[in-house]
Amino acid sequence: MVSKDLAYIIAGKQQLSSVTASPPAHPLPGHVVVEIRYTGICGSDIEAYQLGFDYHPTLAGHEWTGVISAIGEGVEGLAVGDRVARTCQPPCGTCKMCRHGQYELCLNRSLSTRPTAPAHGGYAKYIPVPAASVTPLPDTVSFEAGAIVEPATVAVHAVLRATPRLGDTAVVFGGGIVGLTALQLAKRAGALNVILVDPTEERRQLGATLGADHTFAPDDPGLVATVEALTDQRGADIVYECAGRKAAIELGTTLLRPGGQLMLVGTPFTSIELFPAAWLGKQIDVRTSLAHTREEFELTVELLSRGWIQTDTLTFEVRGLSEIEAVFADLQKGAPAVKTLIDPTR
């Protein structure tokens, strides 16, 4: 068993630290306490662990789901026992970006910007958060699926920013949760051909079961030929780069038609050299996708509930919180499953 009074944060390069995480007997007004069922390990957590860059404690384990165990004064629409998933904050309405009407870029929508932010994230048994930081999870969405609401919403945000037209050809780089969700949504949005590119055979097979029309390893010479054949030599209309890799950005640029869209979704955490002339030569639209908005979390939960985002075939590895140091050491060598979940009761 794991002590309910401990949580784990990323304290530096290949370093995890435990901090006190006792659930408050009486939550602050407007706050709730969530008893966590599962926390997904994000690739950003692993990158922070590997590289040791500054990482706010609340980000260490930001893909959590669970049950409300206590409610503070003034909370409406939620009750003890409700199943919930983590979201981002609503826009504050007062920061510079909100005052300029760019609510999706609010400077205070992260839990880490709040003065009442907890000293840890979801690598714990309990987490106290503002009630606005959670969204109800219907019984039709499992806790395993609830733990991927956050990364799935990253894909929702990206596809809303670069939505395929009916008949388009879309290429998705990266077969993690974000990429596998993006390919499902691109197909639903009207893409006639969706191609998944990933170096792992198991993830390519999984992509095929989720609707990818073709799957390729990045070094497969058939990739370029297939895109050309499907598009009458024009090239793909949209590329979703969900791997955060220089090689994927370069190959994606090659695959795009003149005037196509390159959507950068993955996050490289180190400097990379790029060749903008390749973008200019095709006059492609290079766009970026910054996480998500509060409303998009609710949309993601609805899409999961309706089966528009499938999770049944995803591979989940469940490990205990007591194993977390070994889990991080293992994951930096490569993840065997699409998503590793932490069970805080173990």
The answer on 192 and 100 residing in a single domain is no
The answer on 160 and 115 residing in a single domain is no
The answer on 89 and 17 residing in a single domain is yes
Helices (H), the chain: 43-51, 96-99, 143-146, 149-161, 177-189, 201-209, 222-230, 246-255, 276-282, 294-306, 324-331
8-state DSSP, 308: S
CB 171 within 8 A of CB 302: no
Six token digits for residue 3: 């002590």
The answer on 174 and 49 residing in a single domain is no
Instruction: Determine phi and psi for 129, rounding to 5 degrees.
Output: -145, 160
CB 267 within 8 A of CB 290: no
For residue 305, is it within any domain? no
| Structural domain count of the chain | 2
Six token digits for residue 39: 């926390």
Measured in whole angstroms, how far is the alpha carbon of residue 105 from the centre of its chain?
17
The answer on 284 and 162 residing in a single domain is yes
Angle (CA) 148-149-151 rounded to 5° is 65
Q: Whole domain around residue 279: which residue ranges?
A: 155-288
For residue 303, is it within any domain? no
The answer on 173 and 112 residing in a single domain is no
The answer on 96 and 14 residing in a single domain is yes
Which of 223, 272, 220 has its CA nearest to residue 243? Answer: 272
For residue 243, is it within any domain? yes
* CATH code, domain with 134: 3.90.180.10
For residue 339, is it within any domain? yes
- Locate the DSSP E strands across the chain: 6-12, 15-20, 31-40, 63-71, 83-86, 126-130, 134-136, 169-173, 193-197, 214-216, 236-241, 256-264, 285-288, 316-320, 339-343
CB 140 within 8 A of CB 305: yes
For residue 295, is it within any domain? no
For residue 299, is it within any domain? no
* Per-residue model confidence (pLDDT) at position 3: 55
8-state DSSP, 108: T
* Per-residue model confidence (pLDDT) at position 4: 61
* Per-residue model confidence (pLDDT) at position 201: 92
CA distance 145 to 310: 9
Six token digits for residue 15: 């370093």
pLDDT in tens, the chain (346 residues): 455 688 888 888 888 888 888 888 789 999 999 999 999 988 888 888 888 788 888 888 899 999 999 999 999 999 999 999 999 877 888 889 889 888 778 887 777 777 777 888 899 999 999 998 999 999 999 999 999 999 999 999 999 999 999 999 999 999 999 999 999 999 999 999 999 999 999 999 999 999 999 999 999 999 999 999 999 999 999 999 998 888 899 999 999 999 999 999 987 777 778 888 888 889 999 999 988 888 899 999 999 999 999 988 887 889 899 899 888 888 877 766 788 899 998 8
The answer on 279 and 178 residing in a single domain is yes
CA distance 191 to 163: 9
**Neighbour order of strands in the sheet with 256-264:** 214-216, 193-197, 169-173, 236-241, 256-264, 285-288
For residue 150, is it within any domain? no
The answer on 283 and 230 residing in a single domain is yes
* Per-residue model confidence (pLDDT) at position 74: 93
* CATH code, domain with 271: 3.40.50.720
The answer on 109 and 15 residing in a single domain is yes
The answer on 179 and 259 residing in a single domain is yes
CA distance 46 to 13: 10
Which of 198, 190, 197, 193 has its CA nearest to residue 170? Answer: 193
CA distance 236 to 171: 7
* Per-residue model confidence (pLDDT) at position 2: 57
For residue 190, is it within any domain? yes
The answer on 320 and 270 residing in a single domain is no
